[in-house]
Amino acid sequence: MILTEGKTKHIECLEQMLPIRDALDVISGKWKMLILTSIMHGNRRFKEIETSIPKINPKILSKELKDMEEHQLIKRIVHDEYPVLIEYVATDYSRTLKSVMMELHAWGVNHRKKILGQ
């Protein structure tokens, strides 16, 4: 299957897989897309994000937020006040994933209908 079109019709499979693997390395896992969705819906504080995602462990949330910050998907903002206020916001770079997220959502809705009849 050729995922990209261009002058050459014969693209090596590895050339197709490497960018996909790179993308999955950044966004894969059980929680990252859910965390990003939560943040994009306005949940900016740790507790808000944690509450919005059923069954997420605070330790896992903390780890995933750090990883997402390293990959520039979110920005951690520390407000210098007492008590210290920390917020997480989606970056412009993370917003480039919006079409991917919408496609995943649509696929998930169809999958639930097909498999679960919902």
pLDDT tens for 64-76 read 999 999 999 999 9
The reported pTM is: 0.84
Task: State the total domains in the chain.
Answer: 1
Could you tell me the residue range of the domain that residue 81 belongs to?
Answer: 15-116
For residue 62, the domain's CATH number is: 1.10.10.10
Would residue 78 count as lying in a domain?
A: yes
Burial letters for 55-76: b for 16+ Cβ neighbours within 10 Å, e otherwise? ebeeebbeebbebbeeeebbbe
Would residue 92 count as lying in a domain?
A: yes
Tokens of 12: 């090596």
pLDDT of residue 4: 57
- Contact status, residue 110 vs residue 103, Cβ threshold 8 Å: no
pLDDT of residue 3: 58
Per the prediction, the chain carries an average pLDDT of: 91
Instruction: Tell the burial category of 31 from Cβ atoms under 10 Å away from its Cβ (0-12, 13-18, 19+).
Output: buried
Q: How far is it, in rounded angstroms, from Cα 2 to Cα 112?
A: 28
Would residue 90 count as lying in a domain?
A: yes
